[in-house]
């Protein structure tokens, strides 16, 4: 069993947006002195004043200003529910921030607002970024998004349920997963064999994990949407005929959210599911004897492809403070500073040095499978400005892909995505 002493993991953007924060809309902190003032707007990962991200950033700003007395940093910490609105207000009023940390960068990059990363990060800091994350921040070969924190996914299974069903090892293939699910349904009644959350909370994540493991994805290597591809049709048809129709998951996966499936796993009511690090804490707190494994693939001989998500830092050109921004970001991405934030919120690193240290630290043993997945991670199509709109529609509709006529759902979503992409490029 992993340690039960870790603080709860607070999830990334797609998960944090719906969190009911106890803080009011935003908080501002002004630095002192200096010839140049940098405006920094960041998202709050806390859920109360006691663990607000302002605590981290106030300390960082204070130490940076002490080392750079000619630069003042004006800090604004905004809750996730309000940050997009707040940034839009700042841009409209001509108060463009110099730096922004939030969930996506593509809309600002496509509008030509951002410095390329090569102009605001030192070579050492660029090289220190985990390569998969640096590439995920690129638009047409140039990097504009600076990864800030990460989360990855793994396959969770309930060891006690597996033992009751006579299953010795976690599945590595879809066929093995189906066989295990049938055994669980037969020998452990009242348990959902596989938790398949295709409801509107985070269906885009579960869909991407399944399409990746089936040889497809939501977008191709060039960033073009590939929702209605041959591999994806085969993936959702397999889910419909091998899991859903046989009653091996929820009756209507499209009506089930990730949060509910996580809660059922922590209650011993779900045997298998795909999850992120926060589920470790839920399982430990509930005294669930769980195991972790790579996500099963259609072809177990194919290379495992892990799924990860990231939140981003970006630098705006409007105020012309490139040199000062570079100094601040170089300071912020030093190992002692990144580690402090990762450990404050139990997040995963986006830098090589922090990953090496966390991997070798027994205090982070429960995160090892997730840390191991980072170098080969695949992502949402972050570089596509229309991804937010497409993601919202996927959440609403993709559950229909595991019902009769699911191909029509994929065709409709593909058409919508293509239109959204074209509109975003006008």
Domain ranges of the chain: 13-152+309-378, 154-307+384-424
**pLDDT number for residue 253:** 97
CATH for the stretch 154-307+384-424: 3.40.190.10
**pLDDT number for residue 34:** 54
pLDDT exceeds cutoff 70 at 82: yes
- Is the model more confident about 50 or about 419? 419
Q: How many CA atoms lie within 13 A of 146 on its CB side?
A: 27
Model confidence pLDDT, tens digit, residues 289-344: 999 999 999 998 887 778 999 999 999 999 999 999 999 999 999 999 999 999 88
Length of the chain: 426
Q: What percent of the chain has pLDDT over 70?
A: 92
pLDDT exceeds cutoff 60 at 11: no
Cβ atoms 314, 100 nearer than 8 A: yes
Extended beta strands in 188-346, E state: 192-194, 270-275, 290-293, 306-315
**pLDDT number for residue 323:** 97
pLDDT exceeds cutoff 60 at 264: yes
Q: Report strand pairing: 146-152 vs 192-194.
A: unpaired
pLDDT exceeds cutoff 80 at 425: no
pLDDT band (50, 70, 90) for residue 33: very low
**pLDDT number for residue 51:** 87
**pLDDT number for residue 12:** 52
Model confidence pLDDT, tens digit, residues 352-374: 999 999 999 998 888 889 999 99
**pLDDT number for residue 203:** 94
Q: Say how far residue 345 (Cα) sits from the centre of its chain.
A: 14
Q: Say how far residue 375 (Cα) sits from the centre of its chain.
A: 15
**pLDDT number for residue 3:** 34
| Tokens encoding 41 | 């707007």
Show the DSSP H helices in 200-288 as ranges.
203-213, 230-239, 258-266, 278-285
**pLDDT number for residue 16:** 42
Q: Do domains 13-152+309-378 and 154-307+384-424 have the same CATH topology?
A: yes
Cβ atoms 271, 194 nearer than 8 A: yes
* Reported CATH class of domain 13-152+309-378: alpha beta
- Is the model more confident about 302 or about 229? 229
């Amino acid at each position: 069993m992993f340690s039960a002493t870790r603080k709860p993991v607070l999830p990334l953007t797609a998960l944090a947006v719906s969190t009911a924060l106890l803080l009011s809309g935003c908080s501002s902190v002004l630095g002192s002195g200096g010839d140049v003032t940098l405006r920094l707007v960041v998202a709050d990962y806390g859920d109360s004043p006691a663990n607000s991200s302002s605590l981290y950033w106030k300390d960082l700003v204070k130490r940076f200003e002490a080392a750079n007395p000619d630069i003042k940093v004006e800090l604004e910490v905004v809750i996730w529910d309000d940050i997009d609105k707040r940034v839009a207000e700042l841009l409209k009023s001509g108060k463009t921030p110099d730096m922004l940390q939030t969930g996506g960068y593509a809309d600002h990059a496509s509008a030509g607002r951002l410095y390329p990363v090569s102009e605001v990060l030192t070579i050492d800091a660029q090289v220190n970024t985990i390569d998969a994350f640096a590439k995920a921040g690129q638009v047409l070969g140039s990097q504009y998004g600076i990864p800030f924190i990460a989360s990855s996914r793994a396959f969770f299974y309930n060891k006690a349920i597996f033992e009751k069903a006579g299953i010795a090892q976690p599945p590595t293939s879809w066929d093995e997963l189906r066989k295990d699910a049938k055994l669980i349904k037969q020998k452990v009644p009242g348990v959902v064999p596989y938790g398949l959350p295709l409801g509107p909370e985070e269906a885009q994540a579960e869909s991407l994990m399944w399409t990746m493991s089936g040889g497809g994805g939501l977008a191709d290597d060039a960033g073009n949407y590939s929702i209605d591809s041959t591999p994806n049709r085969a993936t959702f048809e397999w889910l419909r005929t091998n899991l859903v129709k046989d009653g091996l998951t929820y009756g209507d996966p499209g009506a089930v959210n990730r949060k509910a499936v996580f809660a059922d796993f922590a209650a011993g009511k779900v045997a298998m599911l795909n999850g992120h690090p926060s589920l470790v804490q839920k399982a430990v707190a509930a005294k669930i004897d769980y195991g972790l494994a790579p996500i099963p693939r259609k072809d177990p001989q194919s290379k495992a492809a892990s799924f990860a998500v990231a939140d981003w830092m970006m630098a705006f050109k409007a105020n012309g403070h490139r040199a000062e921004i570079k100094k601040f970001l170089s300071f912020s991405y030093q190992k002692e500073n990144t580690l402090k934030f990762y450990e404050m919120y139990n997040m995963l690193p986006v830098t090589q040095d922090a990953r090496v240290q966390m991997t070798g630290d027994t205090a982070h043993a429960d995160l090892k499978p997730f840390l191991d997945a980072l170098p080969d991670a695949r992502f949402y199509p972050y570089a596509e400005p229309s991804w937010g709109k497409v993601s919202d529609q996927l959440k609403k509709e993709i559950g229909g892909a595991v019902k009769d006529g699911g191909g029509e759902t994929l065709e409709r979503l593909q058409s919508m995505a293509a239109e959204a992409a074209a509109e975003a490029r006008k």
